[in-house]
Chains A and B, each alone.
Chain A
Amino acid sequence: MEVLTSLFNVALLVAMLRTTAPILLVAMGGSFTTKAGIFNIGLEGQMLVGAFFAVLGSIWTGSAWGGVLCGVAAALVFALIFALLVVTFRANEVVVGLALNILAGGMTISLMKAVFGTRGSIVGQGIVGLPKVQIPFAREMLGSWAPLISGYTPLVYVAFLAVPLLVLFYRRTRLGLHIRVVGEKPEAAEALGISITRIRYTSSLLCGLLAGLAGAHLSLGYITMFTENMSSGRGFMAVAILIFSNGDPLRVLAGCLLFGFADAFSLRLQTFGYPSYLILAVPYLVALAALFALSYRARPKLIRETAETMRRFLSAEPDKPSNPRPQ
């Protein structure tokens, strides 16, 4: 019992929200490309260069926000290259995404060696981390629950605010609507004079923007350091979430919270002496299980639909013609 209460408490929830933030940011970014009908496996790399250049920018400018700006700019460059190759040159998106991931991994390590002369990680060196935001009166209002809403770095708030904003974006703005149309029914977009190319570039860049923020959060958020391949598959998990959520912001949030929880919970378990290697595998296993389970679940729907048509069809008088489809 004691173990349980010390496992599940406010701190765990706080840790969950914190670990959810980076994957939520990058998944929200991927939501744009998913909705626009692009399979973007390159999220991982965009996030990684975002993290690296955020550290670099933070040292150069001496300001965390300067770092964030640099990180976002680098991720945007990657997003632009992705869009150029995939949209304009019509290259295979899986190949381009994977190559950009590999490029990001090699480039950050090479640059780390070139700039800092070190391997492995950059710590200290004058990296300025993001400040923590204290919500006024949080303690007075919520007491010991205050850490739930107060004391996070700004990008955590950005990540969670992005969810309702994206819901609004897809429902209420022209651009959001057109992104959905381009992904779902490009021929409808074309017939109405909506440029598929322009929309796909735009969504790819929006994706780079959020992936860059996610990276900056990794390296300037709770820990102010950069390590080799520090995105450690979060971009790929985001892609898994995007596949089974179809990029819908609320479902993406649900998926990301699941991973945030798995992440925070496994970190917590580690402190209880469970072997870290198995614990570290938990988020990936959760991602895989969700991916497989949800693609399996898609089946009963198909069966239901079929049964329904059968019923409708049998209850109708046999002579009543229905709708044949044209070629």
Chain B
Amino acid sequence: MDPVSRPATEPAADYAVELLGITKRFGAFTANEGVDLRVRRAGIHAIIGENGAGKTTLMNVLFGLLQPDEGEIRVDGKPVVVTDPSVAIRAGLGMVHQHFKLVPSLTVAENVFLGMEIRRNGLIDHRAQEEKTRELSERFGLAVDPTERVGLLSVGIEQRIEILKVLVRGARTVILDEPTAVLTPQESRELFSTLRGFTQDGMTVIFISHHLEEVMEVSDTVTVLRRGKAVATRPTSELTKAEMVRLMVDRDVSFERPARAATAGQNILSVRGLWARDDRRHPALRDVSFDVRAGEIVGIAGVAGNGQTELAEVLSGLRPASHGSASLNGQDIVTLSPAGVRAAGLAHVPGDRMVRGVDGNASISANLIMGRQNRAPWKKGPRLDWKAAANEAAKMIQRFDIRARGPGDTVRRLSGGNIQKVVLAREFTNEAPFLLIDQPTRGVDIGAQEAIHDEIMRQRAKGVAILVISVQLDELMKLADRILVMFNGRIMGSVDGDTADEDQIGLMMAGIPQGSVEAAA
């Protein structure tokens, strides 16, 4: 697997897959714009880009899960109209999704052959399936025990099964969407050697990743997507990590960092040695410690799924911590219920807006009451004063510029940005000393983004301690006084917002500790 040994120019027919001028729009939003992607046969082609750059959309178009608005797909030089995944599979493509689709109670072999079971006399021939699975797993170095139940296996092995599923369906080109996001470094290394084995077999690999280290390690060619466009395709050996980050990060539209006075006061939130587990009981937070002071915005950067969600849940009382402490205004909040944490001084804008943030079927008024139904002016005597609530709601609609017909409007009818403003209106008017904002502008249009950012800055000026979690780095670079970078449940380092540098943060997001870079603070 030495890229240098390849001839510099190859005939067109030696592309396994070609995407030509692919454009995919979702309403007004263009996810892919005129993307050209040529993937050489028997190579590993990495596609990198920030979140929302259009990587997954492009792969879904290739695999027939989405239909492109413009453009052509060629497989082995021949044009193919991929109307649905079965066409893609017949053309020799296979996709390993980011979220595995395995059935826990079935064995490895049953999962591999699901939907194309080997039968004898009308009954499933488990032995033949296990035999074939074993054969394939040995041939490609994907060590699995075909008879084991999937529910008992680790994520790394689950991924091997997903790959086997693709292979057994005869794929010659394997697409992997963020394959290492769920793997340990050791598992990643094993995966890479498997992938190299594929190319020696003449197969082709398309590999989507955030982790530049791995891209450097495994791929032959890199295509960088930025804002839906392919901005560069180069042999990996010609690029450095810093260059990749520069290509990925879109400087042109970076928000302008607002001027700010140094207002930081005393510590409001102190987190010390916090550990927590995720829903599958794997450690999700590892020894997290930081402070947030009054009048300060601390940003948490990181690729999604590196513990940010769990951090927000632990701090808001929705998830128990396994060790460590977090104190808010001097009160330990780790053991408190959501109501207790709120009483201690938390206001919380949740990341999952439609599930946690609102009741979509209720009115704006009703949504704005939540959490303070027992306080004036909403409560009057024993009653909930709906007239007062509607008045409050009308005020907030005006103040936060929520585009709605009135306080009685059903929340589900509003646009994403306006729903987010409903949540902000409720939480920002709680006069809480600590604001936890998870993904302030996810799914929100640009105009509303600016408004939300202005509102956050106003809260800062009022002396509120603010913790902003975002997967959008540019947003944090605009808002935060300090940016903490999370990777794999740990805080990799901290940089000063005024002097923050995307390359430096990008490296930490990729799991390279701050030590190698000179700290700004």
Is there direct touching of A and B in the complex, by C-beta distance under 8 Å?
A: yes
Interface residues of A (CB under 8 A from B): 168, 171-174, 177, 180-181, 184-185, 187-188, 191-194, 305-306, 309-310, 313, 318, 320-327
Interface residues on B, range: 35 or more
Please state if B280 and A173 are interface contacts (CB–CB under 8 Å). Answer: no
Bound state CA distance, A318 and B273, in angstroms?
Answer: 13
Complex contacts, B49 vs chain A, CB 8 Å: none
Please state if A177 and B306 are interface contacts (CB–CB under 8 Å). Answer: no
Bound state CA distance, A322 and B188, in angstroms?
Answer: 12
The reply to whether the CB of B99 lies closer than 8 angstroms to some CB of chain A is yes
Please state if A326 and B115 are interface contacts (CB–CB under 8 Å). Answer: no
Bound state CA distance, A174 and B116, in angstroms?
Answer: 9
Complex contacts, B401 vs chain A, CB 8 Å: none
Complex contacts, A322 vs chain B, CB 8 Å: 184, 282-283
Bound state CA distance, A191 and B169, in angstroms?
Answer: 13
- Extra contacts, 15 of them, besides A184-B105, A321-B488, A321-B490 (Cβ < 8 A), are A173-B124, A174-B117, A174-B119, A177-B110, A181-B103, A184-B104, A185-B102, A185-B103, A188-B101, A188-B114, A192-B115, A193-B115, A320-B184, A324-B284, A326-B98
| Other-chain contact of A192, B114, B182, B184, B287 (Cβ < 8 Å) | B114
Please state if B281 and A324 are interface contacts (CB–CB under 8 Å). Answer: no
Bound state CA distance, A174 and B104, in angstroms?
Answer: 17
Bound state CA distance, A184 and B101, in angstroms?
Answer: 11
With contacts A177-B106, A194-B115, A306-B281 taken as known, whether A327 is within 8 angstroms of B101 at the C-beta atoms is no
| Other-chain contact of A193, B86, B154, B182 (Cβ < 8 Å) | B86
The reply to whether the CB of B181 lies closer than 8 angstroms to some CB of chain A is yes
With contacts A177-B117, A181-B103, A324-B284 taken as known, whether A172 is within 8 angstroms of B278 at the C-beta atoms is no
With contacts A172-B124, A185-B101 taken as known, whether A177 is within 8 angstroms of B307 at the C-beta atoms is no
Bound state CA distance, A187 and B97, in angstroms?
Answer: 12
Please state if A180 and B282 are interface contacts (CB–CB under 8 Å). Answer: no
Please state if B305 and A326 are interface contacts (CB–CB under 8 Å). Answer: yes
Complex contacts, A323 vs chain B, CB 8 Å: 154-156, 182-184, 282
Complex contacts, A180 vs chain B, CB 8 Å: 103, 105-106
Please state if A324 and B489 are interface contacts (CB–CB under 8 Å). Answer: yes
Complex contacts, B86 vs chain A, CB 8 Å: 193
The reply to whether the CB of B10 lies closer than 8 angstroms to some CB of chain A is no
Bound state CA distance, A180 and B155, in angstroms?
Answer: 22
Please state if A321 and B185 are interface contacts (CB–CB under 8 Å). Answer: yes
Bound state CA distance, A322 and B490, in angstroms?
Answer: 11
Please state if A325 and B104 are interface contacts (CB–CB under 8 Å). Answer: no
Please state if B281 and A305 are interface contacts (CB–CB under 8 Å). Answer: yes
The reply to whether the CB of B279 lies closer than 8 angstroms to some CB of chain A is yes
B149-185 CB contacts (< 8 Å) to partner A? 154-156, 178, 181-185
The reply to whether the CB of B277 lies closer than 8 angstroms to some CB of chain A is yes
Please state if A325 and B106 are interface contacts (CB–CB under 8 Å). Answer: no
Complex contacts, B307 vs chain A, CB 8 Å: 324
Complex contacts, B280 vs chain A, CB 8 Å: 325
Complex contacts, A172 vs chain B, CB 8 Å: 123-124, 126
Bound state CA distance, A324 and B284, in angstroms?
Answer: 6
Bound state CA distance, A322 and B277, in angstroms?
Answer: 11
Bound state CA distance, A193 and B88, in angstroms?
Answer: 13
21 inter-chain pairs at a CB distance below 8 angstroms, sorted by A residue, are A173-B122, A177-B114, A180-B103, A181-B103, A185-B104, A192-B101, A192-B115, A306-B281, A318-B287, A321-B184, A321-B489, A322-B282, A322-B283, A323-B156, A324-B278, A325-B182, A325-B282, A325-B305, A326-B304, A326-B305, A327-B305
Please state if A324 and B104 are interface contacts (CB–CB under 8 Å). Answer: no
The reply to whether the CB of B309 lies closer than 8 angstroms to some CB of chain A is yes
Bound state CA distance, A174 and B106, in angstroms?
Answer: 13
Complex contacts, B309 vs chain A, CB 8 Å: 327
Bound state CA distance, A252 and B115, in angstroms?
Answer: 27
| Other-chain contact of A188, B98, B103, B277 (Cβ < 8 Å) | B103
Please state if B102 and A325 are interface contacts (CB–CB under 8 Å). Answer: no
The reply to whether the CB of B322 lies closer than 8 angstroms to some CB of chain A is yes
Complex contacts, A320 vs chain B, CB 8 Å: 184
Complex contacts, A318 vs chain B, CB 8 Å: 286-287
Please state if A309 and B103 are interface contacts (CB–CB under 8 Å). Answer: no
Bound state CA distance, A323 and B181, in angstroms?
Answer: 8
| Min CB–CB distance B195 → chain A (angstroms) | 19
Complex contacts, B155 vs chain A, CB 8 Å: 323
With contacts A177-B114, A193-B86, A193-B115 taken as known, whether A326 is within 8 angstroms of B488 at the C-beta atoms is no
B271-327 CB contacts (< 8 Å) to partner A? 277-284, 286-287, 304-307, 309, 322
B114: nearest residue on chain A (CB-CB)?
Answer: A192
| Min CB–CB distance A317 → chain B (angstroms) | 12
| Min CB–CB distance A104 → chain B (angstroms) | 33
Complex contacts, B282 vs chain A, CB 8 Å: 309, 322-325
Contact bitstring B454-482, A, C-beta under 8 A = 1, else 0: 00000000000000000000000000000
Please state if A309 and B277 are interface contacts (CB–CB under 8 Å). Answer: yes
What 6 A-B pairs have minimum CB-CB distances, sorted nearest first? A326-B305, A192-B115, A188-B101, A172-B123, A327-B304, A321-B488
Complex contacts, B184 vs chain A, CB 8 Å: 320-323
Please state if B488 and A324 are interface contacts (CB–CB under 8 Å). Answer: yes
| Other-chain contact of B181, A171, A305, A326 (Cβ < 8 Å) | A326
B73-108 CB contacts (< 8 Å) to partner A? 85-86, 97-99, 101-106
| Min CB–CB distance A10 → chain B (angstroms) | 37
